[in-house]
Chain A
Amino acid sequence: MPTPDLELIDVRKSFGGVQAVDNVSLSVQRGEFVSLLGPSGCGKTTLMRMVAGLLKPTSGDILIRGERVNDHAPYQRDISLMFQNYALFPHKTSFENVAFGLKYRGVGLAERQRRVREALKLMRLPDIQDRYPHQLSGGQQQRVALARSLVVNPAVLLLDEPLSNLDKQLRVGMQVELKQIQEASGVTFIFVTHDQGEALAMSDRIVVMNAGKVLQLGSPREVYNEPLSRFVADFLGQSNFFEGHIERTEGSQLEFKTDRGLSFVGIPHSETVSPNGRMTLQIRAERVKLSSSQPRPAANSFKATLERSIYEGTYLIHQLRLEDGCVLTSTEPAGRHLPSKAGSQVWVAIDPEDCRLLVD
Chain B
Amino acid sequence: MTRPISLPFRSWPVPALLSASRRHPALGAAFLVGPAIAWIMLFAVIPLLLIAAYSFMRSGGSGAIVPIFTIENYSRILTSSLYRRILFESLAIGVESTAITLLLGYPVGYYLGRMKSSVAPFLLLLIVLPFWTSYLVRIFSWLLILMDNGVINWVLSSINATSSPLHLLYSHLGVVIGIVYSALPFAILPIYAVVKGIEQDLVDAAHVLGADEGAAFREVIFPLSLPGLAAAAILTFIYAVGSFLAPAILGGTGAVMISNVIINTFLVLFNWPFACALTVALLLIMLIVLAAAGRLVSLENIYGLRSRV
Residue positions of A touching B, CB distance < 8 A = 52-54, 73-75, 77, 79-81, 83, 85, 87-91, 100-101, 103-105, 132, 134-135, 148-149, 152, 158
Contact = CB atoms under 8 A, between A and B. Distances in A.
B212 A91 contact: no
B208 A75 contact: yes
Given A87-B199, A89-B202, A132-B303, A75 B207 contact: yes
Contact of B201 (A53, A80, A87, A134): A87
A73 B210 contact: no
Nearest to B207: A74
A89 B202 CA distance: 6
Contacts of A79: 208
Contacts of A52: 204, 208
Given A75-B207, A100-B219, A104-B209, A83 B303 contact: no
Given A87-B199, A90-B305, 10 more contacts: A80-B208, A89-B202, A89-B206, A90-B202, A90-B304, A90-B308, A91-B302, A103-B210, A134-B305, A134-B308
B250 to A, nearest CB: 40
Contacts of A100: 206, 209, 211, 219
A75 B204 CA distance: 10
Interface of B: 199, 201-202, 204-212, 215, 219-220, 223-224, 302-308
A73 B209 contact: no
Contact of B304 (A101, A103, A132): A132
A152 B208 CA distance: 11
B98 to A, nearest CB: 24
B277 to A, nearest CB: 44
A190 B209 CA distance: 16
B307 A134 contact: yes
Sorted nearest first, the 10 A-B pairs with minimum C-beta distance are: A104-B210, A132-B304, A101-B209, A91-B303, A87-B201, A87-B205, A74-B207, A81-B208, A134-B307, A74-B208
Which of B208, B219, B306 has the most chain A CB atoms inside 10 A of its CB? B208
A41 B225 CA distance: 32
A89 B208 contact: no
Contact of A90 (B206, B209, B215, B224): B224
A91 B305 contact: yes
Contacts of B303: 90-91, 132
A105 to B, nearest CB: 5
Contacts of A148: 209
A54 B224 CA distance: 21
B204 A54 contact: yes
Nearest to B304: A132
A89 B302 CA distance: 14
Contacts of B224: 90-91
Nearest to A145: B205
Contacts of B212: 73, 75
A80 B209 contact: yes
A83 B202 CA distance: 9
A152 B205 CA distance: 13
A100 B205 CA distance: 10
Contacts of A75: 207-212, 215
15 contacts: A53-B207, A74-B204, A75-B207, A75-B210, A80-B208, A81-B204, A85-B199, A87-B204, A90-B304, A91-B305, A100-B206, A101-B210, A103-B210, A134-B305, A149-B209
Contacts of A134: 304-308
Contacts of A103: 210
A285 to B, nearest CB: 38
Contacts of B307: 134
A322 B306 CA distance: 61
A135 B223 CA distance: 19
A52 B209 CA distance: 10
Which of A80, A89, A105 has the most chain B CB atoms inside 10 A of its CB? A89
Contacts of A88: 205
A183 B298 CA distance: 45
A91 B208 CA distance: 18
A159 to B, nearest CB: 12
B16 to A, nearest CB: 42
Nearest to B206: A100
A6 to B, nearest CB: 14
Contact of A152 (B199, B209, B215, B308): B209
Contacts of A77: 208
Contacts of B305: 90-91, 134
A338 to B, nearest CB: 49
Contact of A54 (B208, B215, B223, B308): B208
A71 to B, nearest CB: 15
Contacts of A135: 304
Which of A53, A77, A91, A148 has the most chain B CB atoms inside 10 A of its CB? A91
Given A75-B210, A75-B211, A83 B205 contact: yes
Contacts of A53: 207-208
Contacts of B204: 52, 54, 74, 81, 83, 87
A194 B303 CA distance: 35
A104 B219 CA distance: 11
Given A89-B220, A132-B303, A134-B304, A152 B201 contact: no
A152 B210 CA distance: 10
A46 to B, nearest CB: 14
Nearest to B205: A87
